[in-house]
Each structure stands twice: as C-alpha cells, then as structure tokens.
Amino acid sequence: MAGDAVRALAQEPVDHRFKGLPPDAGAAGLTVGELAGQRRDLFTGGFTTPVLTLDADALEHNLRALEEYSSRHGLAFAPHGKTCMAPQLFERQLAHGAWGITAAVPHQARVYRAFGISRIFLANELVDPAALRWLAGELAADPGFRFVCYVDSVRGVQLMDRALAAADATRPVDVVVELGGGEGARTGARTEADCREVAGAAAAAAHLRLVGVAGYEAEVPDADGAKVTAWLRRLTGLAAEFDKAGLFGPDVEEIVVSAGGSAWFDSVAEVFADLPELSRPVLKLLRSGAYVSHDHGWYTRLTPFNRVPDEGGLLPAFRLWAQVVSRPAPGQAFLNAGKRDIAYDLGLPEVTAVRDGLDGTARDAAGIRVVKLSDQHAWLETDTADAVQVGDWVALGMSHPCTIFEKWPLIPLVDADGTAVDYVRTFF
C-alpha cells in the first residue's frame, strides 16, 4: 500500500465538495488533516446536517472480527472494496491481514493502483480492450503486482487474449473460471461442462494463465445452507478436476479457490476446509466486504455470526444524523435528509437515537419510524406528539453499506464521545 498517497488525502482542502462538514473550516482554508487535528465535537463543532459518521470503535471491532475469523479458518481474505471505495479503509484492512482487495470494475482497480494496492481480485470478466491495455501496462511496469479476474465464456477468453496481444502484453493475466449460481442467477458458467470448456480455452490462450475457480454463493437461487453448501462443493470439485486434468500450467505456484460474500462465509469456511489435497498449495480466498461497516438491516439479518455466535460478531458503524425541519401534524415530522443522503435500496432506515435540539440531551427513539423518503426529506411517523421537535437531531441506521459510502465523499470518523478524530475519503 502506498502510504504516502493515503497520507496525502489529509492535505485536501475542506471545501464545498464535502457535505456536512463545518463551513467555517472551509472559510478558514483548513485541510482535512488540520480539521482532524482540531478534534471537533460532532454536535457543537460546526457540523451541518445531514452528516454521515463512522463509529471508530465499531469499525476497529469489525476489522478485527474478520481478521481473526479468516486466520482461524485458514482463509486468505480479499475484502470487496466496492463496498466502501476508501483507501484509508483498504490500508487498515491490509494491516489487519488482508491478502489484497477485490474489485468489480476496472475503474475500481485503477483507484486501488493509484493507492499502491499490489494484489487485486476482479470479480468480473474483463473484456474491455482499453482496460486490458491499461492492465497490461500495470503488469509490465510492476513485477510485484498480482491481478486475478473471472472468465465465464469462451468468447470472453478470446476477446481478452486478442486485446492483450494487441497491447503487446509481456505478462499473462491470471484468470479463474467462474461457476454461476444456477439458472436465473447472475454471471458465471452455468454447468460443469461449460466450466470445462472455458477452462480449456483459458489454459490454451497465449496471454492468459488459468490459476483456479471462483464464484459468488449468494447468487444461488433461493439460497439456504444446504443449497449454498452443495454449490460450494461443486466449486471445489471443479478445482480438483482441473488440477487432475493438468489445466493449471507448470508455472502456477498456487491454485486459487475463491468465494464468500457477507452472508455465507461460514459455509465457505466449512467447505473449503474439506478441499482435497491438490498438486500444489491452494489460496482459499474469502471476499466478504460489507463487514467493514456492517449495517442496520440487510447484513445484520444475514450475517453468519447469527448462526455461529461463538465465532464473533459485527457492529453497525454508520449513523446518519439529520434534523427535524418540520412538524406539521402530531404524528408526522420531516428530516432534512433523503434519497440523496440515505441508502434505501434494501429497506428504509431505522431511527436509533434522538438528541434534543435545544439542550443536547438524549431521548428514547422508540415510537419513531421512517415511512417514506423524498429526494431531500425523510418522512417520520411518531406515536406521540412530543416524540420529536423541530431542531432535534435524529440518528438513522441504514441498510446496505455499498450504497451508503457512495453518497458521501468525506466521512467523519467519530469516537464514542462524539469527537471527530479523522475523515475517511471515498472514490466512486
């Protein structure tokens, strides 16, 4: 990781690009690092609403939880960076033992490289000639750069090979055959026969190097423990079959077997532990990403730690603070945050705390619900007329971190007492 590039983020000016931050900091020409050094209070330090925060303690807890889980189960870890797209968090994930960072599209990989990430797993087939030309240049310029991506079709293999030849690639691109989740699922070769055909084409391609198999178990239709386990055994069976058939070339030092979103990593650990001995070492690569911030909703319900609580647990790290700007009826109120600020694709947010707008005292958030979102307003329904008043600060917990980070380019990292100790920069 290029620490200098991450540290340079602290030199950015605090200006109009970053919503929620204190206007006086921008007027004074402060940098992000200077603002962090002031350790301002979230509620009295000039922040404007709405403002998204990350809980520093919860974030550290989550980083340690997956580091320890992966280590305990003999898994390498390449968390999916599209969840947060934050180089400061990538740096901390790598410091907590991550093998590398997973990307979904070439742009994300370019961000990773700009911040010195030396191992990237692209969980997609890459057939864009311009992106492959860029990739060929990165591989040629940096012998220590490791890149792996999916292939799921013979045509995709052919397009990649042709584009890399046109780019005068000097190093082959490592590829893994993607096994799809089944009919109606997302990407990936659907059957073992399809996978064999793709593997054969990749092994024969001049500018590709077949190194393993991969997929995403959450795409299994109507996924449950039994169906996910069965699919994972198909995946590991393909790895063993390709190895026996000699499809991994003599220069392949380790075979990659990869899966693991944030909902079934317990099943991944169990099945990968049973992988038979192959002809060379196996990189058992887990790719869960949503864990870093967790959420209030989707992943809170789906996390494997619900099934195996003795293994650990995750904490929601996000809070979006908004203010009550209208109380037009006894059972209704409106916040000054809406679809432009709130993740809502997997459910409406939940009210987690209320802070009095006059004296700052905390009040019970029970009986207050978000029932609708407009572009810049959250519609609240309240059980009592005095549940909230105009000017109160209301904290919202949201579901699905992937669509939270993308709305906030600079996010205060806040201690338990409300002190903003740092600011996390995102790149979407």
pTM score above 0.85:
yes
Which CATH architecture best describes the domain 118-288? Alpha-Beta Barrel (3.20)
Q: What angle do CA 225, 80, 312 make, to 5 degrees?
A: 55
Can you read off the two tokens belonging to residue 279? 């002809």
For the chain, the distance separating the N- and C-terminal CA atoms, rounded to the nearest angstrom, is 19
Question: What pLDDT score does 22 carry?
Answer: 98
Q: How many CB atoms lie within 10 A of CB 44?
A: 9
Count the residues in the chain. Answer: 428
Q: What is the DSSP string of 6-26?
A: HHHGGGSB--TTSTTS-HHHH
Question: What pLDDT score does 1 carry?
Answer: 52
Buried b (16+ CB within 10 A) or exposed e, 207-223: bbbbbbbbbbbbbbeeb
Q: Helices (H), strands (E): how many in the chain?
A: 13, 18
Question: What pLDDT score does 321 carry?
Answer: 98
Question: What pLDDT score does 402 carry?
Answer: 87
Do the beta carbons of residue 291 and residue 314 sit within 8 Å? yes
Q: Is 81 strand, coil or helix? A: helix
Beta bridge partners of 175: 149, 210
Beta bridge partners of 362: 355
Q: Is 328 strand, coil or helix? A: strand
Phi and psi for 139 in degrees, rounded to 5?
Answer: -65, -40
Do the beta carbons of residue 369 and residue 310 sit within 8 Å? no
Q: What is the DSSP string of 285-315?
A: EE---GGGT--SSHHHHH-GGGT-GGG----
Q: Is 305 strand, coil or helix? A: helix
User: In this structure, which amino acid lies at residue 71?
Assistant: S
CA 219 vs. chain centroid, Å, equals 17
Rounded distance between C-alpha atoms, residue 131 and residue 264, angstroms: 31
Residue spans per domain, the chain: 3-56+315-425, 118-288
Q: Is 225 strand, coil or helix? A: helix
Closest by Cα among 96, 139, 88 to 118? 139
Phi-psi region of 352 (alpha: psi -120 to 50; beta: other; left: phi over 0): alpha
pLDDT tens digits for range 295-331: 999 999 999 999 999 999 999 999 999 999 999 999 9
CA 338 vs CA 50, 55, 187, 354: distances in Å: 9, 21, 32, 17
pLDDT tens digits for range 255-266: 999 998 999 999
- The 3-state DSSP composition of the chain as helix, strand, coil percent (nearest 5) reads 35, 25, 40
- Digit-by-digit pLDDT tens for the chain (428 residues) are 568 999 999 999 999 999 999 999 999 999 999 999 999 999 999 999 999 999 999 999 999 999 999 999 999 999 998 889 999 999 999 999 999 999 999 999 999 999 999 999 999 999 999 999 999 999 999 999 999 999 999 999 999 999 999 999 999 999 999 999 999 999 999 999 999 999 999 999 999 999 999 999 999 999 999 999 999 999 999 999 999 999 999 999 999 999 989 999 999 999 999 999 999 999 999 999 999 999 999 999 999 999 999 999 999 999 999 999 999 999 999 999 999 999 999 999 999 999 999 999 999 899 999 999 999 999 999 999 999 999 999 999 999 988 999 999 999 999 999 999 999 999 99
Fold topology of 3-56+315-425: Lyase, Ornithine Decarboxylase; Chain A, domain 1 (2.40.37)
Can you read off the two tokens belonging to residue 273? 């532990």
